[in-house]
Amino acid sequence: LTIFSVAVFANPMQKIHPLLQAQLGNYTAGETIPVYIKFADRLSLSDVQNRTSGLSRKARRGVVVELLKSHARQTQQRVRAFLQAQGNEKFSDVEDIWAINVLAFKTTPDVILALADQFPEIAEIRYNPVIDAESAKDDEGLARFNRETGATVAPLNAPQPGLTLINAPQVWAEGDSGQGVVVSNVDTGTDWRHPDIIDNVWNNLGEDADGDGHTLEFNGSSWVLDPGDLNGIDDDGNGYTDDLIGWDFGSNDNDPQDSDGHGTQAGGLVVGNGTNGTETGVAPRAKLMILRIDGAPVTGWWAAYQYAFENGADVTTSSFSLKWNSQPDYASFRAMNDMELAAGVIHTNSTGNQGNQGTPGCNNSYPIPYNISAPGNSPSPWIHPDQGSLVGGISSVIGCGNVNANTDVISSSSGYGPAAWENIQDRCPNYPNINPLDYQDYPYNLSGPVEPDSIGLLKPDVAAPGTNTISTTIGGGYGTFGGTSAATPHMAGVAALLLSVNPELEPADISRILQTTAVEKGDPGKDPRYGAGRVDAYAAYLQAKSERGAPADIANFEAYSDYRTPNEMLLSWTNPTHLLNGDTLTADQFALFLSRDGQMIDSIGGENSSFVDTGLVDGRVYT
């Protein structure tokens, strides 16, 4: 068994993170403190991949989930028994981040000391405060400005500028716009009643208690969570009761409605379909899983990522990130991104808006090579050739840069690369977090000439339109949006377009296609401002389409004409169920193109197995 390495301390107090040690004196004996435990034997990416090799992206998801849950159950057993014996007054608000073997809860100072002293399976105990959402958002304050001033933008009756810049409408003209793809939006929630979004909200049919095929319902005046499904039972057994469209990890309830505006704007750039007058979404037929994390600690972020891949998301997008000055637990973010990759999820993330403040030095709030915020600094699933000889690990993340939608020029504030994965304390001795050896694979040299083995990790990965974009706002309207917060959902939408035309693409395929088809910008190759360039949805789509496996031929083709309707002919056939390579083929993955005498007359979806051809001439032979 391969185990993910973490630091294990001989002195029990060393297991208590310095920030938590500093907090212990601020709590009385009976007060509870929010903490999380990192267990010592977390599974590695390679171990999970070795156990799931040969499985398709969708087939291995459930295997990965059960493997991780089983490992967490076994390794947490003694600690859980001890905590449960303390009673509810000393053990509450439990969140199991089984994907990375982390357990979050509230407990008292005496229990924390006992845990550190008595359980060698615990690697570390850390303080777990609520994250300040305003500092985590990467929109340069636009959502707050729109909310506080009531600023709106009139409907354009056309696509917003970001869509035309990346050629998204050309993809739609080909017949693909995100159908069959689920994108989780990990943000401040989403105004799911917005007319441009409501038709594209993911419905968790595992909680469809009344069996009517949906978990949202129109009651005659407004859209509501389906009353027939609100039974107070965790029907799908995922640990969340009545999670009909997602979850609110800040309030721990089943309504991830947005009250901030940021998440509605991010979600609209993924799936907004233009019902109220402005097309905002790159993938207007994708489904949006809504996961709200404002008001949550960092473990709530990880729980949201975990929820997404357990419950069927193909793409996770988040425009929340933690910056250097908040002292992120980089290793745990990357471990979670590793498990997303193992489960077949591509994760697009913002990279901060502090690029114009990035200078070397530990005392800088946003230093290079830590200007790229977490988790946008985690490795991509596909490593660009310009990374050269320094090739370490991979994970799920596409870190997104921000170009102006009107000028196609990188914003000065866009996150500035490269990133680094190294022993941070070698650079900054007072930094309170240590990366394990596994995650010291992309070092960066500041003290002298940058050598091939010390170039860091090239970031961002790809840029997308952010500044001067327009998206949906709470209440049914539109507003301006920007920063890497806006660039990131554009990238998620493009990933959804690729999966709609080629559902078997792996995260590494998506990463490679996004980077190799991007429009060259800035310095040649992959540079620290634009990354590999500015994303081109249509070029990426055509590449994904060209890599699609061919379906088997149709069978049992018949043509029938009745003498009573001599100008019509009924065509019927049996559709293929597999690709030529043997992979399963479903009706939403292919279309049929009908031609007569060399001219295409129609195209129909794969769910059809018959067609009536009209306008024929009686007695004429057609091919």
- pLDDT of the residue at 275: 98
Q: Is pLDDT of 559 > 50? A: yes
Do residues 120 and 154 both lie within one domain? no
Which has the minimum average pLDDT: 197-201, 501-505, 521-525, 568-572? 568-572
Listed residue (288, 304, 6) closest to 131, CA to CA: 304
Indicate whether 225 belongs to any domain. Answer: no
Do residues 436 and 306 both lie within one domain? yes
- pLDDT of the residue at 143: 95
Evaluate if pTM is beyond 0.75. yes
- pLDDT of the residue at 5: 45
605 alpha-carbon distance from chain centroid: 28
Do residues 436 and 522 both lie within one domain? yes
Most confident residue range from 8-17, 182-191, 574-583: 182-191
**Would you call 463 helix, strand, or coil by DSSP?**
strand
Which has the minimum average pLDDT: 37-51, 257-271, 418-432? 418-432
What is the edge-to-edge ordering of all strands in the sheet holding 315-318?
A: 246-248, 287-292, 182-187, 315-318, 346-350, 397-403, 462-465
- pLDDT of the residue at 83: 98
Task: Please report, for the domain that includes residue 504, its CATH number.
Answer: 3.40.50.200
Indicate whether 17 belongs to any domain. Answer: yes
Taking only the tens place, the pLDDT of each residue in 160-182 is: 999 999 999 999 999 999 999 99
In DSSP notation, 507-541 reads HHHHHHHHHHSSBP-SSSSSBTTTBT-B--HHHHH
613 pLDDT band (50/70/90 cuts)?
Answer: confident
Torsion angles phi and psi, residue 537, rounded to 5: -60, -40
Q: Is pLDDT of 439 > 70? A: yes
Q: Is 166 exposed, middle or buried (0-12, 13-18, 19+ CB in 10 A)?
A: buried
Do residues 78 and 183 both lie within one domain? no
CB 381 within 8 A of CB 444: no
- pLDDT of the residue at 3: 45
CA angle in degrees (0–180, nearest 5) for 497-490-549:
20
Per this entry, what is the length of the chain?
623
Listed residue (307, 282, 285, 266) closest to 180, CA to CA: 285
Q: Checking phi first, is residue 483 left (phi over 0); if not, alpha (psi -120 to 50) or beta?
A: left
Do residues 438 and 503 both lie within one domain? yes
Q: Is pLDDT of 609 > 90? A: no
Taking only the tens place, the pLDDT of each residue in 8-27 is: 455 788 999 999 999 998 99
Indicate whether 197 belongs to any domain. Answer: no
Torsion angles phi and psi, residue 582, rounded to 5: 95, -10
Do residues 492 and 565 both lie within one domain? no
Indicate whether 344 belongs to any domain. Answer: yes
Provide the residue range defining the domain that includes 597.
555-613
Question: Count of domains in the chain?
Answer: 3
- pLDDT of the residue at 602: 77
CB 230 within 8 A of CB 242: yes
- pLDDT of the residue at 550: 67
Taking only the tens place, the pLDDT of each residue in 253-308 is: 999 999 999 999 999 999 999 999 999 999 999 999 999 999 999 999 999 999 99
- pLDDT of the residue at 449: 66
Do residues 147 and 92 both lie within one domain? no
Longest Cα–Cα distance in the chain: 95
Helix H or strand E encompassing 469: strand 469-472
Do residues 542 and 565 both lie within one domain? no
Q: Is pLDDT of 563 > 80? A: no
Do residues 416 and 561 both lie within one domain? no
Do residues 282 and 324 both lie within one domain? yes
- pLDDT of the residue at 567: 84
d(Cα 533, Cα 528) in Å, to the nearest integer? 10
- pLDDT of the residue at 2: 42
Taking only the tens place, the pLDDT of each residue in 469-501 is: 999 999 999 999 999 999 999 999 999 999 999
End-to-end CA distance of the chain: 61
Taking only the tens place, the pLDDT of each residue in 50-74 is: 999 999 999 999 999 999 999 999 9
What is the residue-averaged pLDDT of the chain?
A: 93
Do residues 338 and 273 both lie within one domain? yes
Q: What is the identity of the amino acid at 244?
A: L
Indicate whether 66 belongs to any domain. Answer: yes
Indicate whether 273 belongs to any domain. Answer: yes
Do residues 518 and 459 both lie within one domain? yes
- pLDDT of the residue at 105: 99
At which of 546, 578, 602 does a domain end? 546
Q: Is pLDDT of 332 > 80? A: yes
Indicate whether 212 belongs to any domain. Answer: no
- pLDDT of the residue at 8: 47
At which of 546, 568, 584 does a domain end? 546
Indicate whether 209 belongs to any domain. Answer: no
359 pLDDT band (50/70/90 cuts)?
Answer: low
Q: Is pLDDT of 571 > 90? A: no
- pLDDT of the residue at 4: 47
